[in-house]
């Protein structure tokens, strides 16, 4: 359904008379076809170390900013710091 783009009824009709031996290769091929673009994108990202490092660096900086703001609010709430 989700992977093949077919409706639930269409998949049920196509597979209703199949045994596991027929269904398993059909399912496997559908999975491979669906996941191939994701695998190719993953391989491209992993091959571009500078891009990957920039994404990680940007994420680390954003996370640190959020964490610092949260820590500041917690310190103010507990009376360890004054509001600015």
Q: Where are the alpha helices (DSSP H) in the chain?
A: 8-15, 20-47, 49-78
Q: What average pLDDT does the chain have?
A: 93
Percentage of residues in the chain with pLDDT exceeding 70?
Answer: 99
Domain ranges of the chain: 1-37, 48-84
Average the pLDDT over 18-35 and give the result. 92
Query: In the numeric block, which tokens belong to residue 68?
Result: 């610092």
Distances (CA, A) of 69 to 49, 55, 75, 82: 30, 21, 10, 13
Residue 48 confidence (pLDDT): 96
State the pTM of this model: 0.57
The Cα 82–Cα 84 span in angstroms is 6
The Cα 81–Cα 71 span in angstroms is 10
pLDDT digits (tens, 9 = 90+) for 51-61: 999 999 999 99
């Amino acid at each position: 359904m989700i992977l093949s783009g077919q409706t639930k009824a269409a998949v049920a009709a196509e597979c209703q008379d199949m045994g596991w031996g027929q269904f398993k290769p059909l399912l496997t091929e559908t999975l491979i076809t669906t996941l191939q673009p994701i695998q190719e994108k993953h391989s491209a990202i992993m091959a571009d170390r500078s891009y990957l490092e920039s994404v990680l660096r940007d994420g680390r900086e954003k996370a640190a900013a959020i964490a610092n703001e949260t820590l500041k609010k917690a310190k103010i709430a507990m009376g360890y710091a004054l509001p600015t």
